[in-house]
């Protein structure tokens, strides 16, 4: 079974705020031959958002003035050597009060970059860490299914008990033991 999510996903993306910002950044970076550089910056932002609870708190806190958010983010980006395109982009996001969608914008931008390379980003969550061999087998199966080059990010969530949750774009395949047990429990309640 092939997974196709090109036209519909791109259309949905450009209709969202984060999608419009991501598309604008993608087009500008491509136009200025800075796509790879901006991609590196955006991946750094993604990592910072994932790792820093303080940064997420600052972004979400409405009591923190926009100019202070902008200054703090500028100092971080300057220290990390971000490109001027990325710095201007983040300043615009802050100015337009769209920081709450920064995480989604980052994801949308990376999807656009992957799409331009005929890649698909797949997030795989398992109860235990996957071995390199398991990742390679999964990557091969997903590449055959999607017809694209597959980039896999793995995560561990012990509450799954077993099995996998695979997310390809906006599509999720949940074959975790926890979900199967919950489904069985629901069916037993319906019968009883």
140's CB contacts (< 8 A; 6+ apart) are: none
Write out pLDDT tens, residues 12-22.
445 688 999 99
Q: Which domains does the chain have, with CATH numbers?
A: 7-114 (1.10.520.20), 118-191 (3.40.30)
pLDDT of residue 1: 39
Write out pLDDT tens, residues 15-67.
688 999 999 999 999 999 999 999 999 999 999 998 999 999 998 888 888 88
What is the residue-wise DSSP string for 111-137? HHHHHHTTEEEEEEEESSPPPHHHHHH
- pTM for the predicted model, two decimal places: 0.66
């Amino acid at each position: 079974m092939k997974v196709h999510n090109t036209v519909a996903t791109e259309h949905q993306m450009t209709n969202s705020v984060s999608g419009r910002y991501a598309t604008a950044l993608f087009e500008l970076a491509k136009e200025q031959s800075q796509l790879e550089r901006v991609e590196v910056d955006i991946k750094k932002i993604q990592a910072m958002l994932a790792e820093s609870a303080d940064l997420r708190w600052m972004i979400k806190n409405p009591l923190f003035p926009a100019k202070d958010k902008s200054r703090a983010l500028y100092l971080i980006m300057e220290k990390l050597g971000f490109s001027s395109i990325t710095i201007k982009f983040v300043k615009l996001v802050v100015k337009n009060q769209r920081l709450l969608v920064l995480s989604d914008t980052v994801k949308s931008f990376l999807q656009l970059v992957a799409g331009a390379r005929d890649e698909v980003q797949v997030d795989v969550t398992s109860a235990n860490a996957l071995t390199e061999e398991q990742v390679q087998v999964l990557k091969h199966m997903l590449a055959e299914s999607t017809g694209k080059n597959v980039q896999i990010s793995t995560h561990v969530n012990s509450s799954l008990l077993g099995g996998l949750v695979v997310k390809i774009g906006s599509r999720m395949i949940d074959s975790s033991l926890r979900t199967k047990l919950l489904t069985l429990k629901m069916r037993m309640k319906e019968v009883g």
